[in-house]
Amino acid sequence: MQEKPDLALVHAATDGDAESFTELCRRYYPAMVAIAHSVVGDRHLAEDAAQQAFARAAVKLPQLKNANRFAAWLAAICRNVAKDMVRTESKLHSDENLSMIAAQPQADDAAEIVRQAINRLSASSREVIFLRYYDGMSYEQISTVLGITEQAINGRLRRAKRKLADYLRRNGFAED
Amino acid sequence: MADQENEKWLDELISQTINTTRPQFDAEKWKQKYPQEFQSLLSRARRRPAGSSARQPNIRAVFFHHRLTKLTAAAVILVAIGLVVTYLGPGKPVAPENGRIVGNSPSEMLSMMSLTIAYRRGGMEELERQCDKAVELLGPRLARISFREVLDDLNG
């Protein structure tokens, strides 16, 4: 069965059709989790952020001016929710006992270095990396979500990967 | 190709680090977690009168979204400009009414209003005729003439 196009779902959801809205959520959940993960750096928090973004979108949907840009609009909401979460978390952590954090088991060293390399990227580059590797999204899908051209995504992805490769080589990773 | 081969190790490292299992959206859990927002969504359906669910297409958005409609609009504008020029412009020069010249003195003949009337009446030919007539009325002049003399002549 052919999927209903996003535009029809967005219009129906704006008119209060819950089924259409949840279908949109289902379609964009992985992308929103990837975007939020690139900001908060934690999978569970990212899922919370994506769900919260859907909640905000459910209320604000009538304010959406161009239904064709629903995905990009949703991504902007998700980004803001994730940033708010980071601010809240950083406040909480500043009050926590630092020794508790230090006592947490350290992850695998190699993974930790890759994570550091990803964290050193700019927010926009990190976002593209997460979208591309989280769910194996195509350039076309990423383009819809970020509201930029496929060429721009290709350029952003290439630059990000070059930076990652440089950092990893400097830290003893060999390409074999 | 070589680039793609060289990037394999990097792709693997990134994939291993980022948790790539596809997240699944649980609609029921979401509705329970955000009941107010979900109710806000449903309330819009209640507010809409029955039978009005068919959304009016946003004509402006449809118009400017498609390349074909943009091209059609440009063509329509060009045709409209062509029609305006054809029917409201000077058109073909016509013979002047009874060969009448607008204005009595050379200065009146060369005023903007007289020249405009002449142009509307007979196009460039009539305009040229009116200028010639004004020069003719001024008569032959010395090759060297002062600015004051030119003004005096023009003012009659």
The pLDDT-based confidence of B3 (bands split at 50, 70, 90) is low
Each residue of A35-53: b (16+ CB within 10 Å) or e? bbbbbbbbbebbbbbbbbb
- The pLDDT of residue B43 is 87
Whole-angstrom Cα distance, residue B154 to residue A156?
72
pLDDT digits (tens, 9 = 90+) for B87-111: 776 555 545 555 667 777 777 878 8
- The pLDDT of residue A58 is 93
Contacts of B34 in chain A (CB under 8 A): 51-52, 54-55, 58
The pLDDT-based confidence of B68 (bands split at 50, 70, 90) is confident
Mean pLDDT within B2-7 = 60
- Put simply, whether A59 touches B (Cβ < 8 Å) is yes
Chain B residues near any Cβ of chain A (below 8 Å): 6-7, 9-11, 13-20, 22-25, 27, 30, 33-34, 37-38, 40-48, 53, 55, 61, 65
- The pLDDT of residue B152 is 73
Of all residues in chain A, the one with the smallest CA distance to B64 is A66
- Put simply, whether A53 touches B (Cβ < 8 Å) is no
Nearest to A168 by CA among A109, A123, A92, A127: A109
- Put simply, whether A110 touches B (Cβ < 8 Å) is yes
The pLDDT-based confidence of B118 (bands split at 50, 70, 90) is confident
Q: To 10 degrees, the CA torsion angle through A19, A24, A29, A35?
A: -150
Structure token digits, residue A48: 């919370």
- The pLDDT of residue A97 is 46
Mean pLDDT within B43-70 = 63
Q: What is the nearest CA distance from A17 to chain B, expressed in angstroms?
A: 6
Instruction: Report residues of chain A scoring pLDDT below 50.
Output: 97-105
pLDDT digits (tens, 9 = 90+) for A19-32: 999 999 999 999 99
- The pLDDT of residue B55 is 56
Nearest to A9 by CA among A52, A72, A68: A68
Residue of B58 and B22 predicted with greater confidence: B22
- The pLDDT of residue A99 is 41
Burial environment of residue B93 by CB neighbours within 10 A (0 to 12, 13 to 18, 19 or more)? middle
- The pLDDT of residue A134 is 82
Q: Do A51 and B30 touch (CB under 8 A)?
A: yes
Of all residues in chain B, the one with the smallest CA distance to A161 is B10
Residue of B130 and B153 predicted with greater confidence: B130
Contacts of A161 in chain B (CB under 8 A): 7, 10
- The pLDDT of residue B17 is 83
Burial environment of residue A68 by CB neighbours within 10 A (0 to 12, 13 to 18, 19 or more)? middle
Match 């899922």 to its residue by tokens: A47
Whole-angstrom Cα distance, residue B4 to residue B12?
12
Which residues lie closer than 8 Å to B37 by C-beta, 6 or more apart?
Answer: A55, A56, A58, A59
Contacts of B45 in chain A (CB under 8 A): 15-18
Of all residues in chain A, the one with the smallest CA distance to B22 is A135
- The pLDDT of residue A155 is 93
Check: CB of residue B94 under 8 Å from CB of residue B119.
no
- The pLDDT of residue B47 is 67
Of all residues in chain A, the one with the smallest CA distance to B17 is A111
Q: Do B16 and A50 touch (CB under 8 A)?
A: no
pLDDT digits (tens, 9 = 90+) for A82-96: 999 998 877 766 655
- Put simply, whether A58 touches B (Cβ < 8 Å) is yes
- Put simply, whether A66 touches B (Cβ < 8 Å) is yes
For an interface test with A, the pick among B11, B12, B41, B55 (most A C-beta atoms closer than 10 Å) comes out as B41
Dihedral-angle region of residue A122 (phi above 0 means left; psi in -120 to 50 means alpha; beta otherwise): beta
Mean pLDDT within B6-18 = 82
Residue of A174 and B127 predicted with greater confidence: B127
In this model, does residue B41 exceed pLDDT 90? no
Q: Do A115 and B17 touch (CB under 8 A)?
A: yes
Contacts of A52 in chain B (CB under 8 A): 34
- The pLDDT of residue A101 is 43
